[in-house]
Structure 1
């Protein structure tokens, strides 16, 4: 079977020109809007540590959210195929980034902490094991050059 290629078109528009453009480092906002056809825009900014608006999504938040969402989507699909009924899923994901003295930096790790509730009839051991398969299939995790680990918790509903 041949590989299938997918493409994703996103437009990021800087909305932080306060009237003088980038005449000075402190004279502009880091605000932007990310948009894709047919989807609501995402208001963004830089991280507050880099003069950003804490009320807006920053690229670092979006990267961690992408890893978490990708894992969740694979996991739910694998559970459905395996006959494991998931009734709730929440992930408290956390990313770690290191910044060098010159301002450059990179993510060094992301830890996913999904808390998954399954029905009493579902196999908890298999539900736990499927996190490894989800991780192995996640497009985003397979595309980054830092460790993405997971520490799942499986909770069974009462009979």
Structure 2
């Protein structure tokens, strides 16, 4: 695969808040995101995406998109994917960092016979996620597979 570049720009708006945009995305739908200092820091703002949230979201989103690609190529029959993700920020060697990320993906399948395949694909997705491979945080995953039988209407 050849190199790709992903561009973003941020402009300070006021206080501890700015607007984050991407020229590639703005061509299509003009979506920008407010970004602010999180409330754990002085003058932080509640209710606005923070760089820390976006960091954790990038890892979670990468797991999902990588899972979807591998599941499609592996013809895994599933009905739902969701993932709750938690990042732990702490002081390490005198510097604040995201030391740990806990991914808690849930995949819903119709048949118990697909459980092992779903687990294998989730593990492959976590291993292949380029965002996870680009950070030094410890990343762990708690996998949850649910089986919901398919209902078929007979009349």
Q: What's the TM-score, normalizing by structure 2?
A: 0.86
Q: Is 2:69 the counterpart of 1:77?
A: yes
Structure 1 counterpart of 2:22: 36
Aligned mates of 2:93, 2:16 — CA distance in 1: 21
Aligned mates of 1:86, 1:61 — CA distance in 2: 28
Q: What's the TM-score, normalizing by structure 1?
A: 0.84
Contact 1:83-1:122 within 8 A present in 2 as well: no
Aligned mates of 1:122, 1:12 — CA distance in 2: 48
Count, aligned residues = 144
| Residue 99 of structure 1, CA deviation | 3.1
* Greater strand share, structure number: 2
Aligned mates of 1:35, 1:142 — CA distance in 2: 24
Computed over aligned residues only, the root mean square deviation of the Cα atoms, in angstroms, reads: 1.8
Contact 2:77-2:114 within 8 A present in 1 as well: no
Structure 1 counterpart of 2:50: 58
Structure 1 counterpart of 2:138: 147
| Residue 121 of structure 1, CA deviation | 7.2
**Shift in alpha-carbon separation, 1:100–1:151, aligned structure 2, 3 A:** closer
Give structure 1 stretches of 5+ with no counterpart: 17-28
**Shift in alpha-carbon separation, 1:125–1:14, aligned structure 2, 3 A:** same
| Residue 120 of structure 1, CA deviation | 2.3
Give structure 2 stretches of 5+ with no counterpart: 151-155
* Segment of structure 1 superposing worse, 81-90 or 57-66: 81-90
* Segment of structure 1 superposing worse, 71-80 or 115-124: 115-124
Alignment of 1:98-117 (within 5 A): 98-99=90-91, 104-117=95-108
Aligned mates of 2:140, 2:93 — CA distance in 1: 27
What is the SS of the residue equivalent to 2:45? coil
Structure 2 counterpart of 1:26: none
What is the SS of the residue equivalent to 2:40? helix
| Residue 119 of structure 1, CA deviation | 2.5
